Structure 1
């Protein structure tokens, strides 16, 4: 976190989006970039997930109006001509249509060749100070709200093992094929959802800070957000909402597939938001009315040393 000095940055790249004070008109430039490798087989849906993931970093700042999106796309150097000609237009179309759903458009970007296929982009918004939420205002007594369940990457990875005679038998004691397919479908649905409603309500209900839960897992992102707080606070997570069936996988597959560690990566995950408790309940009611499901209060903000932890007896909520 860096102080505003009239023309210098207000927030550096340590959080979700850079926030830079512009030297004119009292405006701020909010900008983020992200890209990653495809997770699922459908290139059109994958393009949409990639765009939702890029936009999420601005949504985590309470920004709901995005001015411009650039697309970064690269086919694998191992693609045949036919594979390239089929896959790239679908990736691009999925990305572009997601941008349209967000109320913005793709204005440019870059293409190239890469050993692995990649899809991502850059999102930009120019805002006045009352059009975004500073991420460093958490106070003791706030509650922590999460807007999407955990378990997206575990669901995607383990779904790919259904036809793997070496890996799938390890999961059979804890999850059925039908439950695995259901978890995968739910993961794809949540990854495809925009965090725009959460961003709008963050601003409306005066959130004290937020981040989106992606590649560092819920604990990694909570710790990063905590260390930037102005007040001496810590985040205590006591509840983990998880896509149904996914938490059990951690009992037979440790490490990167064990949700309880808080380190399992997510893709296009939900917003992790610090809110006054009364406003949090209002946020949840309005979010539910707009999105069709309720987000969850998953913990509290207390006096502390700018750390985050998951309680050892944290409750697992199975989200079906």
Structure 2
């Protein structure tokens, strides 16, 4: 089988983080009447929907543990390995940590795709792990009806630098380090309508590591942080608001967006994950009348390996923006697109 001719997205029913189970269904899955014995050393579990579990090691530092995997979002096997790995490692960065070790998770349809194709996936993963300064140290593989790849990643963090999605404070400004729209573009690719000149935009964004998260973890004025993935900006911002008992007011025009997505929205290039997302949390959004429109379609677009959503003390926004600039964040993304305010009973997020 010629790996140059493989189009991985033809072998899966979903793509990237768009494969994620919707927030509403996940609520049902995670609910349990069985009481769990509390671990006093577990600093972060799944009660706040954070990006990773965190265990206190008793010496001022903590272990961050996470896993993430999905079906192909691009056709090229090497790029699939890079993107899936960057996405998994991002959970450690989103907690303000430093990744230290990765283990691979591979499901492969051995009757449909050759082992040489899987080898390319692993090569892409090793390249991203090397960029993150860690080793792909092993893993587990199974025969699977559709190709699946991801990582289990461990990281370390000084407890004083640990960031969560539930610790934002009133008055914080909101930032997003990557532009929205990769779900729209990858759906256009799967539909065969993506222009050749736009083919590198989404893969480049998705394979970019959120390394800056380790730096942001050391900033006291960064009050909360998470990465934006399959639930879209509105979904992950909702989790931040609910966990912090606040509401968000966001300015749509200031939200970083990939410029070319509008021509694909005109051709109805909307991921199925967008609709599932909206059904889960659309009722929490002010002014939407519970219906998807142009703005909310973009804001609910499922991102794969999306950017970091950061809540920053307003008085320190100028210094924060300088840090973003010094760490190579594109200038168009260095803008606050919203604020966190006192929560009311009406809605969780207001779009203006």
Which TM class, normalised by the smaller chain length?
0.7 to 0.9
Pair 1:205–1:130, CA change in 2 (3 A):
closer
| Secondary structure, aligned partner of 1:59 | helix
- Alpha-carbon distance in 1 for matches of 2:123, 2:308: 26
- Deviation of residue 59 (structure 1)? 1.0
- How many angstroms apart in 1 are the aligned matches of 2:51 and 2:199? 27
Cα distance, 1:251 vs structure 2: 4.6
Equivalence for 1:288: 325
1:260 aligns with 2:275: no
Report the counterpart of residue 339 of structure 2 in structure 1.
Answer: 300
Give a deviation string over 1:210-268, Cα, whole Å, max 9, x none. 11111111101111122111xx3212221332111213433552864656332221100
Out of 302, 313, 325, the residue aligned to residue 276 of structure 1 is: 313
1:109 partnered with 2:124: no
Ranges in structure 2 where 5+ consecutive residues have no aligned partner: 1-37, 275-293
Matched, 1:200 2:240: no
Please state whether the residue corresponding to 1:283 is helix, strand or coil: helix
CA contact 2:85–2:129 (8 Å) conserved in 1: yes
Secondary structure (helix, strand or coil) at the match of 1:228 reads helix
CA distance in 1, matches of 2:39, 2:263: 52
Instruction: Check whether the contact 2:187–2:270 (CA below 8 A) recurs between aligned residues.
Output: no
TM-score by length of 1: 0.81
- CA displacement at 1:151 relative to structure 2: 0.6
> Hey, what does 2:237 align to over in structure 1?
222
SS of the residue corresponding to residue 200 of structure 2 reads helix
- Note the alpha carbon deviations across 1:34-65, whole angstroms, 9 max, x for none: 100111111111111111100111111111x2
For 1:66, what is the secondary structure of its paired residue?
A: strand
Q: Structure 1's 186 and 310: CA in aligned 2 closer, same or farther, altered over 3 A?
A: farther
Match runs of 1:231-250 below 5 Å: 232-239=245-252, 240-250=255-265
Specify the alignment match of 2:76 in structure 1.
Answer: 42
Are residues 141 and 21 of structure 1, via their aligned partners in 2, closer, same or farther at CA, if it must alter by over 3 Å? same
Go from structure 1 to structure 2 and tell me whether the alpha carbon gap of 1:297 and 1:267 turns closer, same or farther (over 3 Å shift).
same
Counterpart of 1:317 in structure 2 is none
Q: Higher strand share goes to which structure?
A: 1
The normalised TM-score by structure 2 is 0.74
- Cα 1:8–1:100 change in 2 (3 A) is same
Larger CA deviation: 38-47 vs 123-132: 123-132
RMSD, aligned CA = 2.3
Secondary structure of residue in 2 paired with 1:67? strand
1:242 counterpart SS class: coil
Number of paired residues? 286
